[in-house]
Amino acid sequence: MATTESNKPDWAALEHRYYQGTFKRQPITLVRGEGTRVWDSDGKVYLDFVAGIAVNVLGHCHPAIVKAVQQQVTQLVHVSNLYYSTRQIELAELLGIQSQGMRSFFSNSGAEANEGAMKLARKYGRLHRNGAYEVISMENSFHGRTLATTAATGQASYQATWVPLPDGFKQVPFNDLQAVKTATSAKTVAILVEGVQGEGGIWLASKEFMQGLRQWCDEQNLVLICDEIQAGMGRTGKFFSWEYYNVRPDIVTMAKGLAGGVPIGAMLTDPRTDVFAYGDHGTTFGGNPLACAAGIATIRTILEENLLENATQMGEYWRSKLEALCAKYSFIDSPRGRGLMNAVNVKHSLASIIVQQALAHGLLLNSTAPDILRMIPPLILTRGDIDEAAELLDRTLADVAAMPVAQI
Ligand SMILES: Cc1ncc(COP(=O)(O)O)c(C=O)c1O
pLDDT of 176 strictly over 80: yes
- Assess whether 17 and 84 both reside in one domain: no
Q: 3-state DSSP helix/strand/coil percent for the chain, to nearest 5?
A: 45, 20, 35
Q: Which domain holds residue 123?
A: 76-304
Are 273 and 367 in the same domain? no
Sequence-ordered list of residues with C-beta below 8 angstroms from that of 232, at least 6 positions apart, any chain: 239, 240, 241, 252, 254, 256, 257, 258
* Banded pLDDT at 76 (limits 50, 70, 90): very high
Distance 293 CA to ligand 1 centre (A): 22
Cβ-contact 254, 244 below 8 angstroms:
no
CA of 181 to the centre of ligand 1 (A): 26
CATH number, domain of 385, equals 3.90.1150.10
Whether the predicted pLDDT of 204 surpasses 80: yes
Concerning whether 227 is annotated as a catalytic residue, the answer is yes
Q: Tell me which residues have their CB closer than 6 angstroms to ligand 1.
A: 109-111, 114, 142-144, 194, 198-199, 227, 229-230, 255
Q: What is the DSSP string of 221-262?
A: T-EEEEE-TTTTTTTTSSSSGGGGGT---SEEEE-GGGGBTB
Same domain, 269 and 290: yes
Give me Rg for the CA atoms of the chain. Answer: 22
The residue whose CB lies within 8 Å of the most ligand 1 atoms, and thus the one to mutate among 114, 115, 143, is: 143
C-alpha 110 to ligand 1 mean position (Å): 5
Write phi, then psi, for 269 (nearest 5 degrees): -135, 145
Tens of pLDDT along 393-402? 999 999 999 9
Q: How far is the CA of 364 from the centre of ligand 1 (A)?
A: 20
Q: Are 322 and 298 part of one and the same domain? A: no
* Residue tagged active-site, from 174, 256, 276, 321: 256
Same domain assignment for residues 83 and 218: yes
Quick one: average pLDDT of 232-255? 97
How many structural domains are present in the chain?
2
142 a catalytic residue: yes
Q: Ligand 1, atom 3: nearest CA belongs to which residue?
A: 143
C-alpha atoms less than 13 angstroms from C-alpha of 38 in its C-beta half-sphere: 20
Report how far residue 80's alpha carbon sits from residue 244's, in angstroms, rounded to the nearest whole number.
Answer: 36
Cβ neighbours for 42, distance < 8 A, ≥ 6 positions apart? none
**Whether 190 and 233 share a structural domain:** yes
184 and 83 assigned to the same domain: yes
What's the pLDDT band for 195 if we cut at 50, 70, 90?
very high
**CATH number of the domain that residue 226 is part of:** 3.40.640.10
Residue 407 predicted with pLDDT over 80: no
1 in a structural domain:
no
- The CB density around residue 407, as the number of other CB atoms within 10 Å, is 10
Is 52 within 8 Å of 65 (Cβ atoms)? no
Does 148 lie in the same domain as 271?
Answer: yes
356 in a domain, yes or no? yes
Asked if residue 245 is part of any domain, the answer here is yes
275: pLDDT strictly greater than 90: yes
Per the annotation, the verdict on 256 as an active-site residue is yes
pTM for this predicted structure: 0.97
Catalytic residue among 40, 48, 227, 385: 227
Give a yes or no: residue 71 inside a domain.
no
Do 251 and 162 lie in a common domain? yes
Ligand 1 atom showing the smallest separation from residue 197 Cα = 1
Let me know if residue 383 belongs to a domain.
Answer: yes
Quick one: which H or E segment has residue 333?
Answer: strand 332-338
pLDDT in tens, 78-98: 999 999 999 999 999 999 999
- Residue where a domain terminates, one of 304, 320, 350: 304
End residue of a domain, out of 242, 269, 304: 304
- pLDDT tens digits for range 334-377: 999 999 999 999 999 999 999 999 999 999 999 999 999 999 99
* Cα 111 to averaged position of ligand 1 atoms, centre (Å): 6
Residue 104 has pLDDT above 70, yes or no: yes
For ligand 1, mutation pick of 142, 147, 258, 262 (most atoms within 8 Å of CB) = 142
Instruction: Specify whether 287 is located in the same domain as 346.
Output: no
Asked whether residue 87 falls in the same domain as residue 44, the answer is no
Considering 267, 289, 304, which residue would you say is the last residue of a domain?
A: 304
Please name the residues in contact with 148: beta carbons below 8 A apart, sequence gap of 6 or more.
114, 115, 118, 166, 169
Q: What percent of the chain has pLDDT over 90?
A: 97
How far apart, in whole angstroms, are the C-alpha atoms of residue 270 and residue 272?
5
Tell me whether residue 70 is in a domain.
no
pLDDT at position 1, please? 75
Q: Whose CA is closest to 130, among 222, 215, 218? A: 222
Same domain, 230 and 120: yes
Average pLDDT for residues 213-223, to the nearest whole number?
Answer: 98
